[in-house]
Structure 1
Amino acid sequence: MSDLYDNASENFLELASSQRLEILFKLLQKRTTATFLAKDIGATKQEVHRNFTRLEESGLIEKDKNGKYGLTTFGKTMCTQVPSLVFLSQNRKYFEDHTFGDLPTKFIMRAGQLASGTHIKGVSKTLEQWKSIYKNADEYVYEILSEVPLDLIEPLVKRVKKGIRFSYIFDENVVVPKGRKALLKKLGFDNLIENGLVERKMAKNIQTVLVINEKESCLMFPNTDGEADITEMLYSNDPMFHEWCLDYFRYCWYGSDVFKESKLKE
């Protein structure tokens, strides 16, 4: 077992250089020579040649018959792991008081897809971004909710009335704001459900809050007490970030129960 860790530590050592990481990701885009790449990244030829040698000896890159370098299968695979380290590094402070909660391991392993996320802090800022996701939706809005901000209901219903699909999962222990039922009745929410524009389900103990449309996503991970926290979020319109969020929503959707209005408390 120690040999396995020794090999892994050696590979981490080869990645412990910002220039070598930059070289790997440049080669992920296209094959090139050390001399050309030195010009591209503004480094000396000697530096880049030295790092090319190290990466080649480590089996991460290889030279073809035309003298150009590209990634080996090993190198390409290692590049898929780096974004997870980038994500955790750039959000280290955020995760000092937040956790992945009950997130399945398979989604934590894909955390690199979230590396493009922008950290938004402050409840007013998160709610504005939330509303923006509603406003920009042309096809659908999907949500996983631990609570229901009252001032978000009307903007969402307006979008649904214009034809977007709305699917959401409620925490079965959620305490909804007073006036929610009256507002939904006023807005004709039941008709939207009957017309198939709204689908809803319930789940136990929602910790991770999610809001997405067909091109934007935001995630709100729980605090260290395991409670959902909508005062901070990670937002992105990057396709990889969106794919992660959409897959997570679908995973939760198919594992959720039938929605029961009677369980909700004001």
Structure 2
Amino acid sequence: MTDHYEEAANNFLELSSQQRLHIIFRLLEKKSKVTSMAKDLGATVQEVHRNFARLEDGGFITKDMDGYYSLTTYGKTICSQMPSIIFLSQNRKYFEDHNFGNIPSKFIMRIGQLANSTHIKSVVKILEQWKSIYKNADKYIYEILTEIPLDIIEPKVKRIEKGVKFNYILSESAIIPKGRKKLLQKLNYDKLIEKGLVERKMQKNVQVLVVLNEKEACVSFPNIEGEPEMTEMFYSTDPMFHEWCLDYFRYTWYESEIFQENKLRE
């Protein structure tokens, strides 16, 4: 096992260079010669040649008969792991007082898919972003929440009335605003449920919040005590980010129980 750690440490050493990281990610896009890469990076040929040699010795890249370098299978796989390190490095401060809650390890292993995102702070900005997601939805709105602010109900209903599918998961201990039932009655919410445009489920312990449509998504992780919060979130239109959120929603959906309105208290 010690030998494995030593080998891994050597690999990290080879990657502990901004230029070498640039090189492997450029090679992920297309193969290249040393001179072309040097021009792309604005570096000297000697410097780039030296870093190519180190990456080749480390098994990350290989050279063909025409002098073009490309990534090995090992190099491509390493590239696929880098976004996780980048995401965690970019948001190290955030994860000092947040964790991943109760999400399965298979989603943590894919956390690099969230790397291309915007970190949004403040409840007001988050609610405005949610409303924008509702407004932009053409096919569906999916969400997992522990709180239902009164002013986000009507924007969703307007889209549902246009034929947008709405599936949501609520925590059994969700914070429900006074006047919710009256507003839903006014908006003929029951008829939308009867038409099959709204489907609901419930979970005992929701920690991770997700809101998405078919084009964009956002996710919020719990604080260090495992409590869900609406003061910070990550938002993106990036396909990989969206895929992570959609997969997590679907996983949670199939793990959730039948919705029981009587468990909610205004």
Q: What is the deviation of 1:143? A: 0.2
Q: Secondary structure at the match of 1:207?
A: coil
Tell me the TM-score normalised to structure 2 length: 0.99
Q: Note the 1:56-75 alignment, pairs <5 A.
A: 56-75=56-75
- Name 1:153's counterpart in structure 2: 153
Q: Aligned pair 1:95/2:95, yes or no?
A: yes
Aligned to 1:128: 128
2:230 match: 230
The SS at the match of 2:169 is strand
Amino acid aligned to 2:81: Q
Residues in 2 aligned to 1:264 and 1:106: alpha-carbon distance in whole angstroms: 31
What letter matches 2:111 in structure 1?
A
Distance 2:242 2:232 in 1: 18
Instruction: Could you tell me which runs of 5 or more consecutive residues in structure 1 were left unpaired when the two chains were aligned.
Output: none
Aligned to 1:14: 14
Does 2:239 correspond to 1:242? no
CA distance in 1, matches of 2:142, 2:19: 40
Counterparts of 2:76 and 2:206 in 1: how far apart (Å)?
36
One-letter amino acid of the counterpart of residue 259, structure 2: F
SS of the equivalent of 2:148 reads: coil
- Are 1:253 and 2:253 matched, yes or no? yes
Does residue 51 of structure 2 align to residue 51 of structure 1?
yes
Quote the Cα distance in structure 1 between the aligned partners of 2:225 and 2:178.
Answer: 26
Alignment partner of 1:144 is 2:144 = yes
Please identify runs of 4+ aligned residues in structure 1 that moved more than 4 A: none
Root-mean-square deviation over aligned CA pairs: 0.6
Counterpart amino acid of residue 78 in structure 1: I
- The normalised TM-score by structure 1 is 0.99
Q: State the shift of 1:43 in Å.
A: 1.1
Looking at structure 2, the residues matched to 44 and 251 of structure 1 have their Cα atoms a distance apart, in angstroms, of 49
Q: How many aligned residue pairs are there?
A: 266
Q: Which residue of 2 aligns with 1:193?
A: 193
Return 233-242 or 2-11, whichever deviates more: 2-11
How far apart are 1:248 and its partner, in Å? 0.2
Give 5+ residue unaligned stretches, structure 2. none
CA shift for structure 1 position 47: 1.1
Per-residue deviation at 1:175? 2.5
Q: Distance in 2 between matches of 1:253 and 1:14?
A: 42
Give the secondary-structure state (helix, strand or coil) at the position aligned to 1:169. strand
Partner AA of 1:203 in structure 2: Q
Supply the distance in 1 between the matched residues of 2:186 and 2:75 (Cα, whole angstroms).
Answer: 58
